[in-house]
Structure 1
Amino acid sequence: MSRRTWVGVWAVLCAAGIAATVALNASPAPDPQPEKRVSAECAEYIADIETQLAKAKEEGTADDGVLAFTRTRAGADDCSDEIHDHFSGDR
């Protein structure tokens, strides 16, 4: 191909890219995700974890090691996603 053809193709691709960018920037932002409802059981469990964390910080044990939280009740809600969302800062 000749140099003119390459320059023409390059110019067309650049113009298409710029046009696509302008169109995407002009489009409205998507609606924010509705806040997920947390079951009462999970909310209670999260509050319990926060209480235990506060107690561990008071005692000075929160900075030294690992805190583990377990659930022993059978049939309890799986709150792992809610706990992750709550403590990861995605509130």
Structure 2
Amino acid sequence: MSKPRQTSRRTWVAAWAVLCVVGLVGTAGLKASSAPDPQPNKHVSAECRDLIADIKTQLDKARPEAGNDGILAFSRQQHSAEDCSNELRDFFRNDR
């Protein structure tokens, strides 16, 4: 009966390294292919656009003086005014 051929330690390490690289490349490919689609642009009313533009102007004026410590903004609320809280939240998330 013949002896089974013994595989060297280097061969095992090389095979293990190749399998790891193949796994990492496969994982990266799957993550890239399952990236979420960007959100479609929502319609923002003229009133909210004006409010956001006003806040942006105030932020641009305040940043050189105050640094980047944080700013609190309140939306205007009138009986007939539209609620712009979601648009303001999106604006401040994108501003970071």
TM-score scaled by structure 2?
0.47
Q: For the pair shown, which has the larger CA radius of gyration, 1 or 2?
A: 2
TM-score, normalization by structure 1: 0.48
